[in-house]
Structure 1
Amino acid sequence: MPPSLPAAVRAARPPRRAAARMPGRAAARGSGSGPVLRRAAVVPLLLGGLLAGCSAPPAPDTAEREVRAAVAAWSQRPPAPLAGIPLEGWAYEVTAVRRDGDRATAQARLGYRIAGYDPAPAGSAREVRLGRSGGRWRVTGEGPGPGAPQQLWDQGPVTVARGAHALVLGAGRDPGELSGIAAEADRAVAAAGAAWPRPWAGRVVVLVPGSPEAMGALLGRPASEYRGMAAVTTGSTGAAAGPADRIVVNPSGYAELSAAGRGIVLAHEATHVATRAATSARTPLWLSEGFADWAAYRARGTAPAEAAPALGRAVRRGELPAVLPRDADFAFGSDPEALARAYEGAWLACRLIAQRWGDAALVTLYERAGREPLPEALEGVLGLDEAGLTRAWQEALRGEPAGDRPA
């Protein structure tokens, strides 16, 4: 046996033994059919096992790499409904691929920026669907990722209206209506800039969906939560560069407002965009919501009797608030009357600060409240604690004309 075979093979050789001598028959020799045949059967079996263990591994599945490449090629151009929007940095980052035969789904993160409006990219989780035909993967459709809100273009063709400082995007809305919103948004940007003298983009993007239900789909929440609200602003707080905010209009609520009411609503939301980089989880909602209302009302000289009727009625009934509005008081979908009192009380608190300590003190308090505990900010800017501010606010509520006017 060749020395190159392993010991296991050599050990399998049967022991040699003497050939039996039979009368009239020659003795068996090494070339006979006895033990030699059995050895020949063992060696090929073991060699076969060795050869099988050295066979090449199966070729790797390249489908995932091909799917990622197909998504990258497809995403070079934004969807047709957005052709009139100045987009930059449009890209899908694939995070996972699931394949089922000739079909595949890619989970991806969409990032993009509207040039001249977004100081930081907007983002969205998306799901891209692909099919394989003729040996190639092609994108067949896409939509929101699991649990992610819709984008405006998911709701149909997008119509664009431009103002000097506003870009208004609508789905299923009349172009004339969008142009009117763009003009009002320009005035809102001016009001926000006058109240917030710190650097910011000075421009806003306004989304106008086709219905309250479509608004809820854009925000990823039930439409019922926005009952009684004409608009809301999206965006993360505390970003140094300022994230990509969107003002989302509730078409039903907005249509019910007077011209003055529409202007106040958009100025309020534009102020949220202006102050976003200075807003953090530390900022109490009475300060952020009250400041936005202060910016909107000061531009029009609105009096408390007109802007705080719900709180005025409560004060007349002897229901003077014991504390400044808490964050929970601003919850969407809560009692409309209680929600109105929270917003009105927050506005009157910020109005009081501006009147007694000055507009600059209110701006500085806002900035510091986003960086440090509220007691430290109040003491450092106003020279009093929250209890002292609350007492001053209560005294102002008692003396406001709103408390003496009929509802």
Structure 2
Amino acid sequence: MAGRGRARGSGVVGLAVLLLVLLVGCGGRPATDTARAEVQRVLDRRAAAVLAHDRAAYAATGDPAAYTRMRAVPLAAWSYRVTSVRPGGSAAVAADAELSYRIEGHDRAPVTVARTLRLARDGAGRWAVASEEPAREAGQQLWDQGTVAVVRGTHSLVLGVGQSGALLRSFAGLADRAVPAVSQAWGTDWARQVVVLVPKSLDGMAALLGSPASSYRGIAAVTTGETGGGPDAPADRVIVNPDAYAMLGPVGRQVVLTHETTHVATRSDTNAATPLWLSEGYADWVGYRGTGRTPDEAAPELQKAVREGLAPGELPSDQDFGFAGDAARLARAYEGGWTACRMIAERWGEEKLDAFYRAVGEHGKRPGAVEGAMESVLGTTLEDFTAEWRQYLHDELG
């Protein structure tokens, strides 16, 4: 950690003088521009040191501990763009910056995140980074939580913090089995690689997502990515909740990883037109495909509702999938989407299910997307499909 060195000599411009020039509006280059340029030069050197794996050069820019935390991450690009500089205390500034980075072999475009850095003068009067953290309301990066360990699989890259190598290797195995299973169902026109992030706990998962931990309690994993992202988008990240994962058996763990991998594969065909009952139901359908799980085993909450005379009258709404709501309602929503997709696969065929998913996404916007795809691909109407699905629930779960 760099100390707060004092400015020495008349050639070093102190922060107070910089601010004074800004306030009185004197001629010449604005003081904030000067400070911003100086900070940018420090961060440029810092980025170059990251890519060169030069710990000494990195330490020369301040805060050397950050290098240790992230040094195992295979990076193809790393850069900062300073967006603003403001006073941060005596002989110190706070800088807002965009960090852009790419993971080698996975990200075809950079991931860009907002960061806040604090810089202070070192003993020689040079700016040095004292700290770096996510900007307000931005999620953490995995290395913010500790030293990142890396495990490479045949079809996967697993990054973890605070976890054993054996556990990380087990996730690589799950992902390596998930990728061919998804390709068998969906096809091979996708990256066929998965990036899995395994934080130490539920709190770590929530921090990566920039949300309260209560939103993900009981959720084993989520996938983040650009909806409708094309081939040049950053790779999706499957973010694991290790607390919930520990409660699952071997089949459940595989189903979850295959479900999340399906989201990775279908991302470019998923957009605002795609209802959650279809995107989540299809991912569950692929996850359970080949496991031999029966509807009463895979849809216990929905079975309970059907047998109590409380079968849903409509397909699940997007609101039914809220993580912060009632857990039973959330389970019924997932089970409802799965049964709808299972019915399509059984009665129209698996190829029609895939074609239906893609046709909904091709519409680009929600109104009319499902209705149009049902007519063009399945030869039915939403009303008739819903009635058939309701009967399917009674036949399979009653």
TM-score after normalising by structure 1: 0.82
Residue in structure 1 matching 2:115, options 126, 131, 149? 126
Residue in structure 2 matching 1:197, options 187, 197, 202? 187
Quote how far apart the aligned CAs of 1:239 are. 1.7
Identical amino acids, percent of aligned pairs: 50
Query: What letter matches 2:141 in structure 1?
Result: Q
Residue in structure 2 matching 1:210, options 200, 216, 219? 200
Quote how far apart the aligned CAs of 1:63 are. 2.2
Distance 1:190 1:198, change over 3 A: closer
The SS at the match of 2:49 is coil
Query: What letter matches 1:110 in structure 2?
Result: L
Distance 1:152 1:59, change over 3 A: closer
Aligned 8 A contact 1:278 1:370 in 2: yes
Aligned 8 A contact 2:106 2:234 in 1: no
Quote how far apart the aligned CAs of 1:123 are. 2.1
Q: Does the alignment pair 1:187 with 2:177?
A: yes
Aligned 8 A contact 1:113 1:121 in 2: yes
Q: Trace 1:99-114 onto structure 2 (pairs within 5 A).
A: 99-100=87-88, 102-114=91-103
Measure, in 1, the Cα distance between the counterparts of 2:255 and 2:304. 22
Residue in structure 2 matching 1:385, options 370, 381, 386? 381
Cross-structure match for 1:65: 37
Which 10-residue stretch deviates more, 186-195 or 255-264? 186-195
Distance 1:310 1:316, change over 3 A: same
Residue in structure 1 matching 2:83, options 89, 95, 105? 95
Query: What letter matches 1:188 in structure 2?
Result: A
Measure, in 2, the Cα distance between the counterparts of 1:310 and 1:260. 19
Measure, in 1, the Cα distance between the counterparts of 2:30 and 2:300. 71
Cross-structure match for 1:115: 104
Measure, in 1, the Cα distance between the counterparts of 2:337 and 2:353. 13
Cross-structure match for 2:54: none
Aligned 8 A contact 2:228 2:271 in 1: yes
Cross-structure match for 1:245: 236
Please tell me whether Structure 1 or Structure 2 has the larger radius of gyration of its CA atoms: 1
Cross-structure match for 2:298: 307
Cross-structure match for 1:271: 262
Aligned 8 A contact 1:121 1:244 in 2: no
The SS at the match of 1:76 is helix
Measure, in 2, the Cα distance between the counterparts of 1:77 and 1:254. 37
Measure, in 1, the Cα distance between the counterparts of 2:28 and 2:296. 80
Deviations 1:368-405 (Å, cap 9, x if unpaired)? 111212211111111112111101111111111x32xx
The SS at the match of 2:362 is coil
Deviations 1:180-229 (Å, cap 9, x if unpaired)? 11111111112211121151110111111111111111111111111221
Quote how far apart the aligned CAs of 1:112 are. 1.3
Quote how far apart the aligned CAs of 1:171 are. 0.8
Deviations 1:112-170 (Å, cap 9, x if unpaired)? 11122223322211112211233322222211012111111011111112211111111
Measure, in 1, the Cα distance between the counterparts of 2:36 and 2:82. 10
Query: What letter matches 2:81 in structure 1?
Result: E
Cross-structure match for 2:73: 85
Q: Trace 1:8-407 onto structure 2 (pairs within 5 A).
A: 57=27, 61=31, 62-78=34-50, 79-100=67-88, 102-133=91-122, 134-241=124-231, 242-372=233-363, 373-400=369-396, 402-403=397-398
Measure, in 1, the Cα distance between the counterparts of 2:359 and 2:100. 31
Deviations 1:243-278 (Å, cap 9, x if unpaired)? 321111111100000011000000000100111111
- Structure 1 unmatched ranges of 5 or more: 1-55
The SS at the match of 2:48 is coil
Aligned 8 A contact 1:128 1:142 in 2: yes
Query: What letter matches 1:385 in structure 2?
Result: T
Cross-structure match for 2:21: none
Number of residue equivalences: 347
Deviations 1:1-30 (Å, cap 9, x if unpaired)? xxxxxxxxxxxxxxxxxxxxxxxxxxxxxx
Q: What RMSD in Å do the two structures reach over aligned CA positions?
A: 1.6
Deviations 1:340-395 (Å, cap 9, x if unpaired)? 11111100100111111111111111111112122111111111121111011111
Distance 1:297 1:328, change over 3 A: same
Distance 1:290 1:60, change over 3 A: closer
Which 10-residue stretch deviates more, 386-395 or 251-260? 386-395
Quote how far apart the aligned CAs of 1:301 are. 2.8
Measure, in 2, the Cα distance between the counterparts of 1:291 and 1:57. 63
Quote how far apart the aligned CAs of 1:58 are. 6.1
- Structure 2 unmatched ranges of 5 or more: 1-25, 51-66, 364-368
Measure, in 1, the Cα distance between the counterparts of 2:182 and 2:269. 14
Measure, in 2, the Cα distance between the counterparts of 1:360 and 1:59. 64
Cross-structure match for 1:11: none
Aligned 8 A contact 1:74 1:139 in 2: no
Quote how far apart the aligned CAs of 1:60 are. 5.3
Query: What letter matches 1:102 in structure 2?
Result: A
Quote how far apart the aligned CAs of 1:57 are. 4.7
Query: What letter matches 1:392 in structure 2?
Result: E
Aligned 8 A contact 2:40 2:80 in 1: no
TM-score after normalising by structure 2: 0.84
